Amino acid sequence: MSSLISIPRKDTGTSRPQQQPTTRPFLTAEWRSLVMVNFEVDPALLLPLTPSGTELDDWNGVTLMSLVGFRFLNTQVCGCRVPWHRDFEELNLRFYVRRRAPEGWRRGVVFIKEIVPKRAVTLVARKVYGENYVTLPMGHEIREEVVDGTAVCNVAYHWRLAQRLNYLGVETTAEPTLPSEGSQHQFIAEHYWGYTRLGDGRGLEYRVDHPPWRVSPAKNVEMQCDAALLYGEPLAEFLTVPPVSAFLAEGSAVTVYRGTAVHGE
C-alpha cells in the first residue's frame, strides 16, 4: 500500500451546466463506488489525443490523468433495459479538457481507453460515441467493516489482461462529504461533458448530467496494472509512480445524452 501526497488547492471555476439539453437521453444508469486515482502527466503526451475544439485543462498548473473504476447499475439505453447488460464494471483512463461555449467554459473529460466486461457495451460505445472501449473479464470487491471503532471501507476493481490479474483499489476511513469549492477533488469529480477525438479530425461533445458527488479521501491505494500493455510505454511511465491523490466517490444516477460534432477554431 502507498501513502498519498497532499497538494494545494485553487478555484477551478467548476460549475454544473445550466441550460436544458435539446436531445433525449441516450443512456441512463447509476455510477456507484467510483475509485478515482490521479496522476500528474506530461501535457505533451495528451496533446495528440485532445479533440478538436477543446484545449487541455489543468489544476493549479498541474496536468492530471485519472484511472477510474466504478459500477454501472440499472443501465437503460434509449429507455430500454437490455437483459444481462444492466449491471457491470468499468475501468477507464481519462484526462481533462475544456471548451469555450456561449455560457462560458465547458469542462469535460477525454477517455484514453475504457474497459468493460460486456462485448455489446463495447460495440455500442464505439459506434455511438467513437470511444476506445475494449472487453476484458472484470469483477469488483466492496468490503465494509469496523476496526477499533473506525468504519473502514475497501473498494477494488480487477480485470484480467494477457492471463494476468490487474487491480485498482482504495481504503477509506473518512465520512463522505461534498468536495470543497476549488479543491482538486472537485476538479476531478465534477465534469459534466465528455469529448471524443474522431478519426476525421472532428471532435464529439456529449453532456453527462448528475448531481455533485460526495467523496472520501483514500487512506491507502492498491494498484497492479500492466500499464505499458494497456496504454503504451510513454503513458505507463506516469502510472508507475505514486499518485498525487486518490479518493472514493459515492456516485449517483446519471444521464448521458447523444453527442454533437465540434469543430476547431
pLDDT at residue 78 above 90?
A: no
Ranking 70-74, 120-124, 222-226 by mean pLDDT, the lowest is: 120-124
pLDDT at residue 49 above 90?
A: yes
Q: Shortest CA distance to 94 belongs to which of 44, 22, 36, 55?
A: 36
Label residue 148 by pLDDT band (50, 70, 90).
Answer: confident
Q: Shortest CA distance to 20 belongs to which of 195, 191, 194, 209?
A: 209
Ramachandran quadrant class, 33 (left: phi over 0; alpha: psi -120 to 50; beta: rest): left
Average pLDDT, whole number, for the chain?
88
In the chain, the percentage of residues whose pLDDT exceeds 90 is 70
| pLDDT of amino acid 5 | 33
Per residue in 190-209, pLDDT (tens digit) is 999 999 988 776 789 999 99
For the purposes of burial, counting CB atoms within 10 Å of the CB of 114, is it exposed (0-12), middle (13-18) or buried (19 or more)?
A: buried
Domain ranges of the chain: 25-262
Measured between alpha carbons, how far is 108 from 98 in angstroms, rounded to an integer?
6
Label residue 247 by pLDDT band (50, 70, 90).
Answer: very high
Q: Shortest CA distance to 128 belongs to which of 263, 264, 20, 256?
A: 256
The single-letter DSSP state of residue 49 is G
More confident residue, 76 or 60: 60
> What is the CATH code for 25-262?
2.40.400.10
Label residue 11 by pLDDT band (50, 70, 90).
Answer: very low
| pLDDT of amino acid 184 | 96
Cell output for 177:
462529504
- Rg over alpha carbons for the chain, rounded to the nearest Å, is 18
First to last CA, the chain: 45
CA atoms within 13 A on the CB side of 187: 26
Per residue in 87-137, pLDDT (tens digit) is 999 999 999 999 999 999 999 999 999 999 998 889 888 888 888 999 999
| pLDDT of amino acid 12 | 44
Q: Shortest CA distance to 158 belongs to which of 135, 141, 177?
A: 141
| pLDDT of amino acid 34 | 98
SS3 for 185? helix
135-141 long-range contacts, CB within 8 A, separation 24+: 136/160, 136/161, 138/88, 138/89, 138/90, 138/91, 139/89, 140/33, 140/69, 140/71, 140/89, 141/169
